[in-house]
């Protein structure tokens, strides 16, 4: 069964060049998170859109760095809808220009799903796999979905090994499996762009999570948000 860790989308810029968008590598996501404070402090939608355009410029450093030398240069290549698409796919910041809800509120409500993650701790754990020479290389190599699925797989493999060794000693590590699992709750928030309330929430069943559950959003199941 084919599965994906994250969604991608192709867009065509004003010069006719088509690019494939995907989640930001952590290096650029950090920069975007710092600049996203301008969106939160914006006075009205016009200021919010200007701030979002600056965030889109950071995103485009990953895909077409040659058009990001200045904000004015970027705006020659992208439309407002392009900016919304870029922010949606690369950072999970979702804005519907047909909605009556203010742009700033839409952006802030959907763009804060990373705020409560201890990113340094997560990176430290995956760095122990010994694949990257330093943290800069790690952040240039992985997006957040890639980091999370790498950690998830590593933890599951470690747990399976401990479970096997414990079973040989007559110990059942799964007897408390019904308790709340903070790691699963965090994965649910990441893979649902902050929408899932917990690991059992239907919007958490996407990508690799959907595969493990046998179904999920994007695999014959969808959901509708009711305000």
Instruction: Please indicate, yes or no, whether residues 84 and 146 belong to a single structural domain of this protein.
Output: no
- Is residue 227 in a domain? no
* 178 has a pLDDT exceeding 80: no
Residue-wise pLDDT for 39-92, tens only, equals 999 999 999 999 999 999 999 999 999 999 999 999 999 999 999 999 999 999
Are 59 and 100 within one domain? yes
pLDDT in tens, 182-225: 556 666 666 555 555 555 554 555 554 554 444 444 444 444 55
Residues 165-175: tens digit of each pLDDT:
777 777 776 76
- Residue 221 inside a domain? The answer is no
Residue 114: which pLDDT band, with cuts at 50, 70 and 90? low
Is residue 185 located within the same domain as residue 98?
A: no
Q: Determine which of 6-20, 98-112, 164-178, 179-193 has the lowest per-residue pLDDT on average.
A: 179-193
- Is 3 within a domain? no
Range of the domain at 78: 9-110
Residues 174, 195 within the same domain: yes
129 lies in the same domain as 158: yes
User: For the segment 118-161, what is each residue's pLDDT rounded down to a tens digit?
Assistant: 888 889 999 988 899 999 999 999 999 999 889 888 888 887 77
User: For the whole prediction, is pTM greater than 0.75?
Assistant: no
Domain endpoint, select from 110, 138, 173 = 110
125 with 144, same domain: the answer is yes
The domain total for the chain is 2
| Cβ pair 67, 60 in contact under 8 A | yes
Contact 67, 74 (CB under 8 A): yes
110, 131, 153 — which closes off a domain? Answer: 110
Is 96 found in the same domain as 133?
no
**Same domain membership, residue 99 and residue 142:** no
Q: Report pLDDT for 19.
A: 95
pLDDT for the residue 63: 96
Q: In which residue are the tokens 């016009």 written?
A: 46
Query: Does 50 share its domain with 75?
Result: yes
Identify whether residues 101 and 130 lie together within a single domain: no
């Amino acid at each position: 069964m084919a599965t994906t860790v994250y969604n991608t989308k192709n867009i065509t810029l004003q010069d006719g060049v088509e690019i494939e968008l995907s989640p930001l590598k952590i290096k650029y996501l950090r920069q975007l998170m710092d600049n996203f404070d301008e969106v939160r402090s914006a006075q009205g939608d016009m200021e919010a859109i200007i701030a979002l355009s600056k965030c889109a410029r950071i995103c485009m450093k990953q895909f077409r760095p040659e058009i990001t030398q200045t904000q004015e240069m970027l705006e020659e290549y992208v439309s407002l809808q392009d900016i919304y698409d870029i922010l949606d796919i690369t950072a999970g910041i979702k804005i519907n220009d047909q909605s009556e809800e203010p742009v700033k509120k839409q952006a802030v409500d959907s763009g804060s799903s990373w705020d409560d993650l201890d990113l340094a701790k997560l990176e430290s754990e995956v760095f122990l796999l010994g694949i990257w020479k330093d943290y800069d290389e790690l952040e240039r190599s992985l997006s957040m979905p890639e980091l999370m699925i790498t950690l998830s797989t590593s933890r599951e493999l470690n747990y399976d090994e401990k479970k096997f060794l414990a079973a040989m000693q007559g110990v059942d590590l799964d007897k408390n499996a019904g308790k709340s699992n903070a790691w699963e709750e965090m994965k649910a928030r990441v893979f649902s762009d902050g929408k899932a309330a917990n690991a059992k929430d239907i919007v958490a069943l996407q990508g690799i999570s959907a595969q493990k559950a046998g179904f999920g959003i994007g695999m014959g199941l969808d959901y509708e948000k009711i305000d």
